[in-house]
Amino acid sequence: MAYDDLRSFLRALEREGDLKRIKAEVDPHLEIGEIVDRVQKAKGPALLFENVKGASMPLAMNIFGTERRLAKALGLKSPDDIADKIAGLLKPELPHGFTGVRDAFGKLASMTHVPPRKVKPGEAPVQEVVLTGEDVDLDQLPALFTWPKDGGSFFNLGLTHTKDPDTGVRNLGLYRLQRHDKRTIGMHWQIHKDSRNHAAVAAKRGEKLPVAIAFGCPPVVTYAATAPLPGDIDEYLFAGFVAGERVRMVDCKTVPLQVPADAEVVLEGWLEPDQLLPEGPFGDHTGFYTPQELFPALTIDCVTMRRRPLLQSIVVGRPPTEDGPLGKFTERFFLPLLKVIVPDIVDYDLPEAGGFHNCVIVSIDKKYPKHAQKVMHAIWGAHMMSLTKLIIVVDADCDVHDYQEVAWRALGNVDYSRDLSVVEGPVDHLDHASYQKFWGGKAGIDATRKLPEEGYTRDGGWPEMITSDPATAALVTKRWKEYGL
């Protein structure tokens, strides 16, 4: 089962001994960040800080810090559960016979519980307490000053809701939020993000943009906010698909948006066009500080919450961090979708050390000359995969998740005068290595076996890899205990 709200998941973790309550007073200025960074790098338990200095509510951290915990939060045994389900829905074959018709209708029936469902305000726990005007005080919420040169305190796991002023299509995004004062937060939505586009449309129309930010949402909703979905796919539809049940939503009190009824805290406000403030620096998931820049500043007009709320946040920095399991699940979930765009792909891996978007290792069943180069350019044209800086293409018999084997192929199978492709294109807003913002150099490495048609005309052709004699290997396996090794 997926969990209906954050607190029920925390109770489940505590029953299993996978949640640690910290009752001592802790400082959100550097101290919590240092604690969490050590625990998450050790693959330790989820943490609940019950006494955060200066705040009026507990703070839940490292909730998705292991793949096991994230799978449990989403009601899965492994991310392959959803990958297989997505692959099944994407199959284009027409049904054959009664069994095929029944299966097709089964797929349609399975989608009826996916769209979110609206509940009445009185049924929404997140609106048990409503604060407006001078009663709004963001200092009561535990924001983190994580790294020594951060430009202030940040909320790192607030789920930002906006909608396109032209089409009304909503977006759920995850952006860091700097607390400027008791009623103002900075909206760090980057150039490639949908919410930034919504703000630009509103500004062009001379209108304010309604914004709602939800904290402590049901785990499946929080995950959905991290997923790089195309702009026309509703994150709440995806959340319902993953959870196997509809997400409960409620109308906000002061803005025309809906938020999860079972969230812990929601901030509501209207973003004025051209209302900008310096935001950052911030120690980001790249492991480096991102510089101070001007970003939109949102005034909070209303806060709704549960009677005894708690907040959830995350620490990012040099990997490994809590980003790791989130990124790995996204990698697995979206393999079937990526195969629709690039059917040549057998498997792929997004290394956490590359921030997931800096590098992709992809395997193909090579069929013709320059097949690897075709796949590289297809990936650079596939939605947010366009931000990939390095693509390594290997043959289908290479395990893309075995970095030792990938390195062996990439370091030994490449003639860099022929097998290295260097291009220019868009890069992530946070990328510090490009010599200017938003675009830079990219590389593709063809580490596949080379064909004569590609110009590999040495005597004997491409050499055969060394492998054990199968009969001898089986014999040694059978007799292994006899050797006393």
Tell me the pLDDT tens digit for each residue of 218-265: 999 999 999 887 766 789 988 998 888 899 999 999 999 999 999 999
Does 147 score more than 60 pLDDT?
yes
Which option is the CATH number for 342-470: 2.40.160.10, 3.40.1670.10, 3.40.50.300, 3.30.1950.10? 3.40.1670.10
pLDDT the model gives residue 340? 84
pLDDT digits (tens, 9 = 90+) for 397-440: 999 999 999 999 999 999 999 999 999 999 988 889 999 999 99
Extents of the domains making up the chain: 6-91+114-312, 342-470
pLDDT at site 227: 86
pLDDT averaged over the chain?
92
201 CB neighbour count, 10 Å cutoff: 15
Q: If you average pLDDT over residues 443-451, what whole number do you get? A: 97
Residues 295, 300, 306, CA angle at the centre, nearest 5°? 125
Q: What pLDDT score was predicted for residue 86?
A: 79
More confident residue, 194 or 28: 28
Instruction: Tell me the pTM.
Output: 0.90
How confident is residue 291, by pLDDT bands cut at 50, 70 and 90? very high
Strands 293-305 and 265-271: antiparallel
Give per-residue pLDDT as tens, 305-339: 999 999 999 999 999 999 999 999 999 988 988 88
What's the angle, vertex CA 213, arms to CA 208 and CA 218, rounded to 5?
150
The predicted model gives 134-155 an average pLDDT of 97
Average the pLDDT over 339-349 and give the result: 93
- Sheet of strand 117-118, all strands in order from the earlier edge strand to the far edge: 117-118, 248-251, 258-260
In the prediction, which pLDDT does 93 show? 55
Residue 79 has a pLDDT of 87
Please tell me whether residue 280 adopts helix, strand or coil conformation: coil
**What fold does the segment set 6-91+114-312 form as a domain?**
Pnp Oxidase; Chain A (2.30.110)
Instruction: List C-alpha distances in Å: 219 to 5, 59, 78, 208.
Output: 7, 15, 15, 30
Closest listed residue to residue 53, CA positions, set 78, 30, 19, 87: 30
Q: Check if the beta carbon of residue 100 is closer than 8 Å to that of residue 227.
A: no
Q: How many whole angstroms separate alpha carbon 402 and alpha carbon 363?
A: 12
pLDDT at 99 over 70: no
Q: Fold identical between 6-91+114-312 and 342-470?
A: no
101 pLDDT higher than 90: no
Q: Which of 337, 327, 332, 330 is nearest to 88 (CA)?
A: 337
Report the catalytic residues.
Answer: 284
271: three-class secondary structure by DSSP: strand
